[in-house]
Amino acid sequence: MARSRYRIALILDYISIEYSHRLFDSVSEACRENNYELLVFPIGTLHSVRTAFGYQEASITSLITTNSVDGIIISTGVQLHFVSKSEMISYIRGFTPIPVISIAVDMPGCPSITSDPYLAYRAIFDNLIDVQHCKKFAILGLRSSSAEIRIRRNVIHRILEEKKLTAENYTYFRMSFDYLQVLKDLDTYALSTDGKIEFDAIIAFNDELAYAATEFVKSNGLRIPEDVQIVGFDSLDQSEYNNPSITSVDQHVDEHGKRAVEMLTAIFNNEEFEQNVSLTNTAVFRESTSRVPYPESFKNREACTIKMETNKELYSRNVVSDLYFRTAQVQKVMNYYSQTQFDMSVDQLKTRLNSDLRDFGIKAAAVVLYESPIEQTIPFDYFNLPHRASIFCAFDESSGYDSEILPERIKFNPNERIVPDGIYDFSEGGNIVVALYHNTLQYGYVIFRPDNHDDFFVYDFIMKIVSSLVSSIFSYAQVSSEKSKFHKKYKELDIVANTDELTGLYNRRGLFDFGKTTLQFSKAMNQSGLIIYCDMDGLKKINDNFGHEAGDCAIIAESIILKGNFRANDIIARIGGDEFVIISPGMTVEAFEKIQTLIKNDCELWTEKNQSKYRLSVSMGYVKFPSEKVGYQITPLLSEADANLYVEKRNKKAKEREKAN
């Protein structure tokens, strides 16, 4: 079904990170103003080395096709930490012919919105050097090949040269993205200098590094800004209310998102527009670089703003309130995790999942499962989306659909549409798509619409729990299925291993396996019976005179006669070419003699009816169990029955000779 509204895909790294969150909010607002649908794809970072299976998150971009999306906005800056620019260009081309807007990095052949930090950094260094009189700088860079990081580094080096500072005036550190690791690295540096911090200003390439630097400086007994001044980048909300507040660089992320939507609008309307937009960053001066008061001239300076007055008391109250709320949410998530740590069936999960997601303020959700899990053992850029999937469970307060009311499993092709029509209302804003995976296995994906955009860390946690639940339940179901197949196969193999191929009776192995069990049961029941040893008469002559095919026919006929005259619970086995054994619990000698007569008559009847050229007959000897000497032991009982059989055969031959004479 054709869409009545344009749909935009926003590709981010992690929705819970403030930078991406702010970009999402700005794009979402612009989409609402233009009556566009928005799908958000948090894919982590391509080729990331920080998480073992983080590459699995990128699978959801395979849903971005001309069938599902009209335009794409991608935050390229956050993706270039572990991939090269050429690799990123190739990745973007994979979405052709869907138009793509790049945010943060200029991508050839792709409309781009970038930032220019020169004027902001120039204002910051003018203050640090000329006003605050800083002489030694620590530059906290990042271990990344990102073009954004490279631009910041080059701009700072350029300004330091312009300010006539040499390499003796600054030290460049390559830091990780992990807050605790940054603190550890800074502590290692302090140990190498015997605790003496030799710089009086720290320039961090993002605000998180600046927060770590603040903690490091304070822990070493120094004051900010009196002893060390600190600068961040991104101007996150926390920087304004930190103690002291952190001077930073504002990239105007809100403007990035708005401009990106405007570019796509021009493309949709076939209008001309500026292909590459560079936004000037702004230096936001706060307490961390104000050992000497800022000069009045800074208030009117280009790309410069001063924010010294903040209502920290109000912020503190909000932080406490927010902390209480988040603690409650985390506790709720942990309780949910504990509640789901039991063996659930697929049907049980399907029944409760909708209500569970509603409990966390999710207004709509669709859990889509592939026909079979897909194993992805190595990092990838492009995921081969399967052609068969189904709605496991779904609900949407806007569309009115609820899989608990309509439990039929709906199958569809995810290459043609993200979900079947009538299930999910994409016209409502803030829809997020996440991969449903566990370790190396892809199970499907989830689309959901949260009520509160401030709780993405909670939603991220919930989706990981859902992934774990789906994985464990379907893995258990698969193991159970495989176990059932194994037992069935084992049973089939066991039957083959214990069955005589020609007659279908037990073979020698089957006789001993099941015969021992039968005798043990008889012993437990204090039950007596007979073991009967049979030998076909003249089978060798039949084979010699009429061929082995005739001999096989005689063996099969004899087995049918034996089965027809003994009970179903008797163990009947063919243990050699012409030898049979029957273990018959509860059988008496009198009953056996009657059966022996019936078998003799059946053999004669078969010979007559089949007009056989040979005579079918069998000799039989028996032994009672339990024996006074060996009790219920199968091997000596068989030997005794065999011996009695040959006595029977000698007597039979003697009678035949007397009859012939």
14-23, 33-42, 160-169, 252-261: lowest mean pLDDT where? 14-23
pLDDT bracket for residue 367 (50, 70, 90): very high
**Stated pTM of the model:** 0.69
pLDDT tops 60 at residue 320: no
What confidence tier does 157 reach under pLDDT thresholds 50, 70, 90?
A: very high
Assess whether pLDDT exceeds 80 at residue 51: no
Measured in degrees and rounded to the nearest 5, phi and psi for residue 236 equal: -70, 160
Give the residue-averaged pLDDT of 194-207. 88
What is the pLDDT, as a whole number, of residue 324? 45
pLDDT digits (tens, 9 = 90+) for 107-129: 988 999 999 999 999 999 999 99
**What is the structure's pLDDT at 479?**
47
Per the DSSP assignment, residues forming a β-bridge with 625 are: 529
- A 10 A CB-CB count for 200 gives 20
Q: What is the pLDDT of residues 435-445, one digit of tens each?
A: 988 888 899 99
In the chain, % of residues over pLDDT 70: 89
Q: How confident is the model at residue 418 (pLDDT cuts 50, 70, 90)?
A: very high
CB neighbour list of residue 497: distance below 8 Å, 6 or more residues apart: 509, 510
On the question of pLDDT at 546 being above 80, the answer is yes
pLDDT of residue 2: 57
pLDDT band at residue 451 under the 50/70/90 scheme:
confident
Q: How far apart are CA 518 and CA 566, in angstroms?
A: 15
Q: According to the model, what pLDDT value does residue 135 have?
A: 92
| Model confidence pLDDT, tens digit, residues 72-90 | 999 998 887 778 888 888 8
- Phi/psi region, residue 531 (left: phi>0; alpha: psi -120 to 50; beta: rest), is beta
CA–CA distance, 57 with 442 (Å, rounded to integer):
9
Burial class (CB in 10 A: 0-12, 13-18, 19+), 118: middle
Whole-number pLDDT of residue 144: 77
Confidence label for 335 from pLDDT (cuts 50, 70 and 90): low
Burial 56-86 (b: 16+ CB within 10 A, else e): bbbbbbbbbbeebbbbbbbbbbbbbbbbebe
